[in-house]
């Protein structure tokens, strides 16, 4: 019996509810955005009692579907003021799904501010317990204690917020453990950790012992789909074992995007970073080989992933320093801050994981502060100090911890590469037009994962499109819709590489969903459902006060040419307005 778990933090009660008919076929982003639209007033204060956090596994999560352990975290974002869905790959989602929990809705807030609680869920129910002993501690200190208390990595998974979330910072993410129990997988963007912090919910521990498992309506169809998708993933060059992602991780993109002249460097002043090769995925692979004596192919962030792109970085003595140095993190602290040292980037990543921070937004905020004179570009030592300041909640830490836009205001910086309050990720819109259009029109603020047009624009996936071509209205729209569906299915967005190039892989994804739900969706339904999700999110944003004027890139990009191609942002507003109508 699937159900919704509603957790009221004012009353401190957790109760199970039946799943309303309209939600039965929904999962992941589709479900979080539906509940947020239905229950959260769009004009509420993100950190006030009327906001809610909705946590939902995807449609096929908890089954044997490959690469499908995504967990969506939704609500109104304190960073952007928009609706937000941020997702991570983590076994937490699988245990939740196997317990039959379609969604957790966290609402209300304690009368007494500064109180923190933890929620324990198992097959018998859910209960709130005081979390006071774990507040103020780093997640690398807190998680092992929780495992000890609740039965170990084999038995439970953990969702947690760090001190950044306790301090209500808009850069605070929601952390999940990886397979080895590291607090390293993040639904990072949009400050949902701060929303959980405002509700006084510090941890959720889920134990799926004797869980009933995910009901599958049509096992044969599901198995057929699963096989098709698995075959596609294991045969595509990007996603296959010892393929690009498994070998070099997402940081394989550093050299590629740098070569394309689109690696934002020193707060988006340039598109090519002279230190790129030193921080590229290849350098991580080689560095690890040198330091550990082994060829370290990457590991899965969650059980059942075929792609296995999660890396580690090792110290000179061969011991593990951090996991995982994603492309975005590598860039945010690397090229964007002018830092070309992997040991420093690894340390910055580790600190963000420990304090509970979104590396993209923190890197962006530090780069903007560097622009404003707080530190020199390239000063890695100072960058490390600054992340510690965020963790300690000092005044300068409060500025940076509030994200790039607030940092820009505090330091009087007008070159702030953000859309709807969210710092851009690692692709320069002046050099790759489709991703710029995506940043502009996304319901989530500047977000590459809302429609990864880099696939055709740079990687040649589903056919190569010129990066400078400006006629991408349809491309961008289709990616928005397809992505919203993938984010709802429970699969990692990285299946897109394989299913865009291999039609049977795409069919497999749809068949998996039909198998679980008993639906008869086809390819058109993917677009239809994706559009429904995006339209719903846009409607929330409109009520919250967003207009076409917010679907724009920052003004400076329209007048400052970006080296090396020396192009400006030149997509007319009318074209942007056509993407989602």
Q: Which of 212, 543, 564, 566 binds a copy of itself (CB under 8 A)?
A: 543
Closest Cα partner for 240 from 282, 312, 297?
297
As a whole number of angstroms, the distance between CA 46 and CA 101 comes to: 25
Q: How far is the CB of 118 from a copy of itself (least distance, A)?
A: 20
In the window 133-192, what residues touch a copy of itself (CB under 8 A)? 167-170
- The stretch among 46-54, 208-216, 335-343, 514-522 that binds a copy of itself (CB under 8 A) is 46-54
Angle at 146 between CA 191 and CA 170, to 5 degrees: 10
- The stretch among 343-351, 484-492, 519-527, 554-562 that binds a copy of itself (CB under 8 A) is 554-562
Q: Which residues of 133-167 are buried (b: 16+ CB within 10 A; e: fewer)?
A: ebbebbbbebbeebbeebeebeebbbbbbbbbbbb
Q: Which residues contact 241 (CB under 8 A, 6 or more apart)?
A: 234, 297, 306, 308
In the window 302-341, what residues touch a copy of itself (CB under 8 A)? none
As a whole number of angstroms, the distance between CA 451 and CA 150 comes to: 38
In the window 65-84, what residues touch a copy of itself (CB under 8 A)? 78
Chain position carrying tokens 């499908």: 68
Q: How far is the CB of 159 from a copy of itself (least distance, A)?
A: 20
Q: How far is the CB of 571 from a copy of itself (least distance, A)?
A: 15
As a whole number of angstroms, the distance between CA 32 and CA 57 comes to: 9
By CB under 8 A, is residue 10 in contact with a copy of itself?
no
- Closest to a copy of itself by CB, 219 vs 414, is 414
Chain position carrying tokens 């607030």: 406
Closest Cα partner for 552 from 462, 454, 465, 439?
439
> Measured between alpha carbons, how far apart are the two ends of the chain, in Å?
39
Chain position carrying tokens 């690692």: 426
As a whole number of angstroms, the distance between CA 445 and CA 341 comes to: 29
By CB under 8 A, is residue 494 in contact with a copy of itself?
no
Phi and psi, residue 33, nearest 5°:
-65, -35
Q: Which of 283, 324, 406, 454 binds a copy of itself (CB under 8 A)?
A: 406
Q: Which of 88, 194, 348, 446 binds a copy of itself (CB under 8 A)?
A: 194
Q: Which of 2, 24, 37, 44 binds a copy of itself (CB under 8 A)?
A: 44
By CB under 8 A, is residue 574 in contact with a copy of itself?
no
Q: Which of 65, 546, 562, 571 binds a copy of itself (CB under 8 A)?
A: 546
Q: Which of 61, 402, 442, 489 binds a copy of itself (CB under 8 A)?
A: 402
- Closest to a copy of itself by CB, 3 vs 266, is 266
Output DSSP code: residue 295: -
- Give the total of residues touching a copy of itself (CB under 8 A): 42
- The stretch among 132-140, 205-213, 540-548, 562-570 that binds a copy of itself (CB under 8 A) is 540-548
State the CB neighbour count (10 A cutoff) for residue 545.
Answer: 11
Angle at 408 between CA 404 and CA 411, to 5 degrees: 135
- The stretch among 28-36, 38-46, 134-142, 319-327 that binds a copy of itself (CB under 8 A) is 38-46
Binding pattern to a copy of itself, positions 237-276, x when CB under 8 A?
----------------------------------------
Phi and psi, residue 107, nearest 5°:
-140, 170
The answer to whether 265 and 336 are in contact (CB under 8 A) is: yes
Q: Between the CA of residue 475 and those of 465, 469, 471, what are the distances in Å? A: 10, 11, 8
Q: Which of 22, 317, 412, 574 binds a copy of itself (CB under 8 A)?
A: 412
- Closest to a copy of itself by CB, 371 vs 487, is 371
Q: Which of 549, 572, 574, 581 binds a copy of itself (CB under 8 A)?
A: 549
- Closest to a copy of itself by CB, 10 vs 522, is 10
Chain position carrying tokens 């609680």: 117
Q: How far is the CB of 415 from a copy of itself (least distance, A)?
A: 9
By CB under 8 A, is residue 102 in contact with a copy of itself?
no
- Closest to a copy of itself by CB, 195 vs 211, is 195
Binding pattern to a copy of itself, positions 449-478, x when CB under 8 A?
------------------------------
Q: Which of 555, 566, 568, 570 binds a copy of itself (CB under 8 A)?
A: 555
Q: Which residues contact 409 (CB under 8 A, 6 or more apart)?
A: none
By CB under 8 A, is residue 539 in contact with a copy of itself?
no
Q: Which residues contact 107 (CB under 8 A, 6 or more apart)?
A: 6, 7, 8, 9, 39, 49, 52, 53, 199
The answer to whether 3 and 16 are in contact (CB under 8 A) is: yes
Chain position carrying tokens 């807030």: 109
Six-digit token pair at 84?
Answer: 């937000």
- Closest to a copy of itself by CB, 57 vs 81, is 81
Q: Which of 297, 411, 468, 521 binds a copy of itself (CB under 8 A)?
A: 411
- The stretch among 40-48, 422-430, 530-538, 562-570 that binds a copy of itself (CB under 8 A) is 40-48
By CB under 8 A, is residue 554 in contact with a copy of itself?
yes
Q: Which residues contact 566 (CB under 8 A, 6 or more apart)?
A: none
The answer to whether 267 and 417 are in contact (CB under 8 A) is: yes
Binding pattern to a copy of itself, positions 345-384, x when CB under 8 A?
----------------------------------------
- Closest to a copy of itself by CB, 343 vs 577, is 577
Cα-atom radius of gyration of the chain, to the nearest Å? 22
Chain position carrying tokens 């507003």: 573
Q: Which of 260, 410, 484, 533 binds a copy of itself (CB under 8 A)?
A: 410
By CB under 8 A, is residue 37 in contact with a copy of itself?
no
- State the pairing for strand pair 101-107/3-8: parallel
- The stretch among 336-344, 395-403, 494-502, 524-532 that binds a copy of itself (CB under 8 A) is 395-403
Cα atoms in the 13 Å half-sphere on the side-chain side of 372 = 23
Q: Give the interface with a copy of itself as residue ranges (CB under 8 A).
A: 41-48, 50, 78, 167-170, 194, 197-198, 394-396, 398-399, 401-402, 406, 409-412, 414, 543-550, 552, 554-556
């Amino acid at each position: 019996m699937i159900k919704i778990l509603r957790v009221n933090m004012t009353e401190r009660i957790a109760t199970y509810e039946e799943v309303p008919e309209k939600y039965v076929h929904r999962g992941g982003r589709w479900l979080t955005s539906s509940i947020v639209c239905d229950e959260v007033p769009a004009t509420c204060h993100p950190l006030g009692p009327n906001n809610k956090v909705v946590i939902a596994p995807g449609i096929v999560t908890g089954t044997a579907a490959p690469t499908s352990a995504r967990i969506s975290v939704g609500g109104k974002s304190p960073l952007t003021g928009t609706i937000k869905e941020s997702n991570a790959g983590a076994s937490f989602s699988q245990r939740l799904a196997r317990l039959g929990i379609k969604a957790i809705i966290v609402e209300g807030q304690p009368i007494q501010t500064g109180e923190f609680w933890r929620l324990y869920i198992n097959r018998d129910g859910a209960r709130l317990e005081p979390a006071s002993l774990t507040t103020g501690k780093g997640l690398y200190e807190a998680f092992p204690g929780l495992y000890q208390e609740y039965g170990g990595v084999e038995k439970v998974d953990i969702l947690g917020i760090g001190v950044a979330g306790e301090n209500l910072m808009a850069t605070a993410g929601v952390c999940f453990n990886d397979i080895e129990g590291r607090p390293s997988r993040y639904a990072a963007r949009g400050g949902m950790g701060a929303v959980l912090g405002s509700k006084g919910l510090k941890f959720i521990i889920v134990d799926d012992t004797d869980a009933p498992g995910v009901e599958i309506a049509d096992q044969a169809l599901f198995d057929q789909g699963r096989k098709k998708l698995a075959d596609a993933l294991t045969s595509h060059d990007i996603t296959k074992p010892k393929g690009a992602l498994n070998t070099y991780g997402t940081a394989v993109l550093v050299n590629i995007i740098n070569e394309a002249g689109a690696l934002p460097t020193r707060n988006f002043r340039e598109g090519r970073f002279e230190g790129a090769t030193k921080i590229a995925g290849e350098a991580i692979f080689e560095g690890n080989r040198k330091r550990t004596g082994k060829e370290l192919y990457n590991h899965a962030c969650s059980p059942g992933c075929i792609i296995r792109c999660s890396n580690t970085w090792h110290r000179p003595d061969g011991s593990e320093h951090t996991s995982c140095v994603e492309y975005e993190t590598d860039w945010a602290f690397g090229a964007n801050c002018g830092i070309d040292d992997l040991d420093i980037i690894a340390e910055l990543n580790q600190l963000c994981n420990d304090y509970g921070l979104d590396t993209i937004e923190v890197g962006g905020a530090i780069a903007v502060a560097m622009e404003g004179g707080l530190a020199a570009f390239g000063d890695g030592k100072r960058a490390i100090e600054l992340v510690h300041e965020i963790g300690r909640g000092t005044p300068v830490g409060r500025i940076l911890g509030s994200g790039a836009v607030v940092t820009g205001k505090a330091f009087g910086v007008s070159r702030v590469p953000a859309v709807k309050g969210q710092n851009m990720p690692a692709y320069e819109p002046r050099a790759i037009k489709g991703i710029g259009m995506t940043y502009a029109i996304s319901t989530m603020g500047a977000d590459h994962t809302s429609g990864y047009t880099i696939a055709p624009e740079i990687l040649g996936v589903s056919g190569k499109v010129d990066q400078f071509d400006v006629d991408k209205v349809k491309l961008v729209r289709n990616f928005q819709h397809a992505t919203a569906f993938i984010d709802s299915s429970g699969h990692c967005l990285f299946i897109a590489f394989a299913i865009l190039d291999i039609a049977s892989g795409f069919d497999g994804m749809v068949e998996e969903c039909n198998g679980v739900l008993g639906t008869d969706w086809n390819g058109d339904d993917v677009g239809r459902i994706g559009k429904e999700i995006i339209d719903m999110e846009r409607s929330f944003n409109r009520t919250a006060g967003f207009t076409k004027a917010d679907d724009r890139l920052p003004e400076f990009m329209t007048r400052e040419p970006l080296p090396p191609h020396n192009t400006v942002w030149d997509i007319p507003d009318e074209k942007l307005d056509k993407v989602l109508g």
